Amino acid sequence: MKNVTKNTTRNTRNKLAAIIAAMAMTSTLAAPTAIAGHKANHDYARVVSVEPITKTVRINTPRQECWQEQVSHYEPAKQRSATPTIVGAIVGGLIGNELGNNNDARNGGILVGSVLGGSIGRDIGRKTAGPGHHYYTTEERCQTYQDYHEEERITGYHVGYKYHGNIYHTRMQEHPGKRIKVRVTVTPLERY
């Protein structure tokens, strides 16, 4: 039982020593960056090339053109009197009364004759009312046209940068300038 306890204690001490050594190594490697005034996990790399990434887009611009136009209108003559309709109904009723043989036929004839006579009288009254008249107004008319043109738009940049003698490439939304911020990570060469 004593051997098992000794082995467990020894394994725990070894693991603890390995963790402390790894932490010391990480802080030692990150120290030069921290001394330079930057965060321990960031540094700057020099930009060596920038190429814009462009896309052709079609732009729609509505344009409205307006002008003045003469417009013709026709107004029909208005019937000024109900007399032709009334006279037509009376005449139609009298004719219907004369054509009927008995009382029932006379009543139906009067009704049909009055309606037809009134309609004919109204039509005659409209014709005798005289012609309508034309008049003109000036109205604004507008038409909307769509003008299109194409233009190149920058959608991003292909950026080449140099860090510790190596060239790397990335894509960025904005122009980076002369240097870009890079993330630096440190990992041990050997793992337990």
Sign of torsion over alpha carbons 165, 170, 176, 180? negative
Residue 148 has pLDDT above 70, yes or no: yes
Query: Which of the listed ranges 8-17, 114-123, 160-169 does the model predict with the highest average pLDDT?
Result: 160-169
In the chain, the percentage of residues whose pLDDT exceeds 90 is 39
Buried b (16+ CB within 10 A) or exposed e, 31-46: eebeeeeeeeeebebe
Query: Which of the listed ranges 63-67, 84-88, 116-120 does the model predict with the highest average pLDDT?
Result: 63-67
Of residues 97 and 9, more confidently modeled: 97
Q: Say how far apart CA 122 and CA 85 lie, in whole Å.
A: 5
Q: Say how far apart CA 15 and CA 10 lie, in whole Å.
A: 9
Residue spans of the domains in the chain: they are 1-38, 41-75+132-192, 77-131
- State residue 153's pLDDT score: 93
Query: Which of the listed ranges 1-15, 65-79, 132-146 does the model predict with the highest average pLDDT?
Result: 132-146
Residue 19 has pLDDT above 90, yes or no: no
Residue 173 has pLDDT above 60, yes or no: yes
- State residue 116's pLDDT score: 72
**DSSP 3-state assignment of 145?**
strand
Cβ neighbours of residue 80 under 8 Å, at least 6 residues apart? 129
Mean pLDDT value of segment 84-112: 68
Query: Which of the listed ranges 27-41, 94-108, 123-137, 145-159 does the model predict with the highest average pLDDT?
Result: 145-159
Cβ neighbours of residue 127 under 8 Å, at least 6 residues apart? none
| Mutual angle of helices 103-128 and 83-99, in 10-degree steps | 150
pLDDT, tens only, 102-131: 666 666 666 677 777 777 777 776 666 567
Tokens representing residue 192 in the block: 């337990």
